[in-house]
Amino acid sequence: MTMQFVRRACAVALACVCSFSVSVAWAGTYILKTSRPGNQTFEESTDPHLLDLGESHGTSLSVQTAGPATRLLILVNAECTVAGTTTEDWLRVEILVDGIVLTPSGGLGHAVCTADGDGLLNNWVMAASDASTVVGAGTHTVELRGSLAFGAGVPGADWWIGDLSLIVIANNE
């Protein structure tokens, strides 16, 4: 390899990294990101709850698309724990676009964290989930909804989520 080739390769790699980190649109692809470093605790929760996404977005992130077919890739990670009295209590976090639950986040078998059975919020894990869908032109909403499975409504079956990060990559197909 010549030194000139190495310099060009480094410049291209640096340009790609810089474009990604500042969320600049390129080739019909753009990135939206939000995060919430604080904690959200839900005590003896029986109903699903929309999660606060942080950075003044509230519970809904708006995504504007222009093309007739835009693929949204949604990446979520957060620290979470469940204070269940059995090891069968677990937390499900669903990814919704325009109010529709995306697979694989929906359904009975999608646990992001579980209880260790001692009834305390002390079994923290960093969990991640992702989903994708194709949408048309317009404004779309992305939401995250958390709910307990099995432990819902049981005294002491609480859950906590923190250090939440949501990334939406939109790519015109």
50 is written with which tokens? 């929309």
d(CA 46, CA 112): 17
d(CA 167, CA 40): 19
Q: In this predicted model, which residue has the larger pLDDT, 21 or 60?
A: 60
d(CA 30, CA 25): 4
C-alpha distances (whole Å) from 54 to each of 21, 63, 83, 164 are 19, 15, 24, 8
What pLDDT does 100 receive? 95
106 has a pLDDT exceeding 90: no
What pLDDT does 58 receive? 94
Q: In this predicted model, which residue has the larger pLDDT, 19 or 112?
A: 112
What pLDDT does 155 receive? 63
Per-position b or e across 95-104, b if 16+ CB within 10 A of its CB: bbbeeebbee
C-alpha distances (whole Å) from 99 to each of 95, 96, 145, 154 are 9, 5, 10, 27
Overall fold of domain 27-172: Jelly Rolls (2.60.120)
Across the range 37-45, mean pLDDT stands at 84
**What is the residue extent of each domain of the chain?**
27-172
Q: Are 38 and 101 in contact (CB under 8 A)?
A: no
> pLDDT confidence of 50, banded at 50, 70, 90?
very high
